[in-house]
Amino acid sequence: MNVALAFLAVFLPSLFSETLLGSPSGGPYNDSPFYLPWPAGVTYRVIQGNSSVTGDHYGAEAYAWDFSMPEGSLLLAPRDGVVLMAKSDSNSGGYNFYNGYLANYLVIDHGDGTQSLFLHLMYDGVLVHPGQRVVRGQPVAYSGTTGFSGGPHLHFAVERYGLYDRVTPSVPIAFADVPFWDGMPLIGRKYTSGNMQTGAAESRPLVAAQRLPSNPGSLRSNPFAGRLDFPVPHGHFYLQGNGQGGKGRLGFLVADDDNIPFSTTLAALGGPGVAGYPISQRVVFDGRVTQVFQKLVLQYHDEDGSVQVLNTLDLMHDQGLDSALQALLIPPPLSTDADAGLSWSDVVARHDALLAANPTLQAAYATTPDAVTMYGLPMTVPVDEGSVIVVRCQRAVLQLWTSDTPWAKAGDVTVANAGDLAKQLVLFPASAFTPDPQPIP
């Protein structure tokens, strides 16, 4: 974003319809002429989306996106058009409003009153020239971090046509290769392009931009400053479970994307106070989309569209992890042979009766709202492990402490974090627990 853009953002009100440009009637996103502007099969993440609260996507640039990608990433034409203007002679950039004029850019006119803007391109990274006709999928540039830029990324927007101006009011569009949410990329999400490359790309040497002094005060005030979590469209981003005590700028997104309502389900369960904070990205486990939280694991069942709490401790038993759990003072489960032939209500009653030997743990289980959903059925009688009496359930472990500890006093009942146990014992792929950079809300 440069000084000219800032002037437009402040002084030029948005006068245009917010109908998605996809079909003449603003119809289904898969009718859109626009595709993501990088090669098919490649995945990048949105670090700033439309109408950001704290960033620079407002006013004239309200409908822009920032896609995180390494310097020198190949970019393709998102749609047929004619190159209107380009600049690629800058090799400097930094996180300062006044560096905007240093940005390399490319503008493609689509002939229907719209133009595509590629911003922050690499030095000598533009592969086409003004007046040249391009087709969708044609290599047109390499990404960079020139101009007003905090790091390597592509700033992309579709704008109203402006013969002599690369910065004109942006317009909302859909992408044909973006599933769900009407084809509009949302912050914090990763998107894989379906834009098939046409022709070979001219090779250009990678030239890393010279970094200039930054000035974080260049942006607007942040209403989420100091917060460890904040809302994003159709979800929430959390830093608390990033393995660094919430420090830094890494975290996990919980969202309702792909018609999988993890965010809605988390709220229905009672939020992080009940489920804990997310400690994983979405991961496919046993053929189902899964997300791990500190206290429990959510899993999507596409056959009925439900999100269910996974029987994490049962799964650990099936994976042969009982010995590892015993080292953590968690006893192995009892046999379930006696459940055969019983009705569900009788099964529940039989397992509830296992708690009778310890009224304190029995009361802790019984007074938990929808305990079967949260904890699963009790799978052991109370087992005295010395400083703690333990009941293993299908989805959680109840612990009654018999002596004071740094985390609990004698007589306290705590719940072991089943999700943390799953992470510790590598029940899920280790890569799932890698946090993502915080997006710009």
Tens-digit pLDDT profile for residues 191-226 = 999 999 999 999 999 999 998 887 766 555 666 667
Structure tokens at 132: 């040249």
Query: What percentage of the chain reaches a pLDDT higher than 90?
Result: 77
Question: Of the given ranges (173-187, 315-329, 336-350), which has the lowest mean pLDDT?
Answer: 173-187
Is there a single domain that holds both residue 305 and residue 404?
A: yes
Is there a single domain that holds both residue 191 and residue 317?
A: no
Is there a single domain that holds both residue 278 and residue 210?
A: no
Is there a single domain that holds both residue 321 and residue 431?
A: yes
CATH number at residue 53: 2.70.70.10
Is there a single domain that holds both residue 263 and residue 176?
A: no
Is there a single domain that holds both residue 262 and residue 181?
A: no
- Positive or negative, the CA dihedral 392, 393, 396, 398 is negative
Number of domains observed in the structure of the chain: 2
Is there a single domain that holds both residue 314 and residue 256?
A: yes
305 by Cβ neighbours in 10 Å (0-12 / 13-18 / 19+) ranks as exposed
Give one DSSP letter per residue of 304-335, joined into a string: TTEEEE--HHHHHHHTT-HHHHHTTT-PPPPP
Per-chain mean pLDDT for the chain:
89
pLDDT at position 286 is 92
User: Domain end: 218, 250, 267, which one?
Assistant: 218
Is there a single domain that holds both residue 213 and residue 232?
A: no
State the DSSP code for 212: P
User: Domain end: 218, 243, 274, which one?
Assistant: 218
Is there a single domain that holds both residue 315 and residue 434?
A: yes
Going across the sheet that includes 190-192, the strands are: 133-134, 81-87, 105-109, 114-119, 153-160, 65-68, 43-48, 190-192
- Positive or negative, the CA dihedral 70, 71, 72, 73 is positive
DSSP-H helix ranges across 319-416: 322-326, 344-352, 359-366, 371-375
Is there a single domain that holds both residue 433 and residue 331?
A: yes
Of 338, 305, 293, 226, nearest in space to 428 by CA = 293
Show the domain range for 295.
226-441
- Residue written as token pair 């269910």: 308
* Total-model pTM: 0.81
What single-letter amino acid sits at 361?
A: L
Is there a single domain that holds both residue 30 and residue 154?
A: yes
Which distant-in-sequence residues (6+ apart) come within 8 Å of 135 by Cβ?
A: 77, 80, 198
What single-letter amino acid sits at 324?
A: A
Residue 118 confidence (pLDDT) above 70: yes
Is there a single domain that holds both residue 47 and residue 28?
A: yes
pLDDT at position 1 is 37
User: Domain end: 186, 218, 250, which one?
Assistant: 218
How much is the average pLDDT of 231-239? 93
